[in-house]
């Protein structure tokens, strides 16, 4: 009887891993497509992505239901419990990244109706950087590669520095051309969404560390977002001191 129960638990854990992998692939594709739609100002593509988010939410609910059923079967060995807790953590992080991709798609619909603003390319560059970070952490999770996970965790400040630069560029564009304020405001939110993708990748890195080692990552998390203290001066007019 104990052997049968152990085998049943093993199969349930593998089913969870398979479903999590499918969810991760869907979220990664959604983020990539949202960045592409933004770069190409592709409104139909952006609108299609908004509907995909419902499928990500379904994965989230289904995995949660399966986890609860597994936990109700009885106590799990320590390694199995860590694995299940990590999957639960991963599912939440993936769902939030899906929401961020959806938000990018929603704002793409709006700014695509506006004249292009100069910071667009910088925001797109930031989007691609966030996608690389997210893809790297998914690879680290699939291979349970602690070194790769810590590399993503330690590299989050690079994305923050890029965000600081893009944020300042958007502020300057607003100051120089008030007609671009509406588009630039949406660009600020899109850039922030990409910065948040990096934060969720960092959270996943910490979850991987817990699963592999059994202990939390206690080092100080790298953080370089300085936008809360950034100000911009109005450009001086000709002849005005």
Of residues 22 and 71, more confidence is placed in 22
pLDDT tens per residue across span 160-217 = 999 999 999 999 999 998 888 999 999 999 999 999 999 999 999 999 999 999 988 8
Q: Are 62 and 187 in contact (CB under 8 A)?
A: no
pLDDT of 232 reads 56
Residue 167: CB atoms within 10 A of its CB come to: 24
* Whether the predicted pLDDT of 240 surpasses 60: no
Average per-residue pLDDT for the chain: 88
239: DSSP letter: T
Domain 2-229: CATH superfamily is: Phosphate transport system protein phou homolog 2; domain 2 (1.20.58.220)
96: DSSP letter: H
Residue spans of the domains in the chain: they are: 2-229
pLDDT tens per residue across span 44-81 = 999 999 888 899 999 999 999 999 999 888 888 898 89
Rounded CA gap, 145 and 124, in Å?
Answer: 29
pLDDT of 219 reads 72
* Whether the predicted pLDDT of 225 surpasses 80: no
* Whether the predicted pLDDT of 241 surpasses 50: no
pLDDT tens per residue across span 103-155 = 999 999 999 988 887 889 999 999 999 999 999 999 999 999 999 999 999 98
pLDDT of 227 reads 62
Q: C-alpha distances in angstroms, 159 versus 101, 129, 166, 196, 218?
A: 17, 7, 10, 10, 21
Task: Tell me what percent of the chain is helix, strand and coil, each rounded to the nearest 5.
Answer: 80, 0, 20
Sign of CA dihedral 172, 175, 176, 179: positive
49: Cβ–Cβ under 8 A, 6 or more apart, which residues?
A: 30, 33, 34, 37, 101, 102, 105
């Amino acid at each position: 009887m104990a052997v049968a129960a152990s085998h049943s638990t093993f199969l349930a854990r593998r089913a969870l891993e398979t479903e999590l992998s499918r969810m991760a692939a869907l979220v990664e594709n959604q983020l990539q497509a949202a960045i592409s739609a933004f770069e190409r100002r592709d409104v139909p593509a952006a609108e299609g992505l908004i509907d995909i988010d419902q499928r990500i939410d379904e994965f989230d609910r289904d995995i949660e239901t399966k986890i609860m059923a597994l936990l109700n079967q009885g106590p799990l060995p320590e390694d199995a419990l860590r694995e299940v807790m990590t999957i639960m953590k991963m599912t939440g992080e993936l769902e939030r990244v899906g929401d961020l991709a959806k938000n990018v798609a929603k704002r793409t619909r709006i700014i695509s109706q506006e004249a292009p603003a100069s910071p667009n390319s910088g925001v797109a560059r930031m989007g691609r950087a966030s996608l690389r970070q997210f893809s790297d952490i998914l690879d680290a999770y699939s291979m349970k590669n602690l070194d790769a996970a810590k590399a993503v965790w330690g590299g989050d400040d690079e994305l923050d520095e890029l965000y600081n630069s893009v944020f300042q560029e958007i502020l300057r564009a607003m100051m120089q051309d008030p007609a671009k304020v509406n588009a630039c405001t949406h660009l600020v939110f899109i850039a922030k969404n990409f910065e948040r993708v990096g934060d969720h990748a960092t959270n996943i890195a910490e979850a991987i560390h817990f699963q592999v080692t059994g202990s939390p990552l206690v080092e100080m998390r790298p953080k370089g977002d300085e936008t809360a203290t950034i100000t911009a001066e109005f450009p001086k007019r000709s002849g005005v001191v």
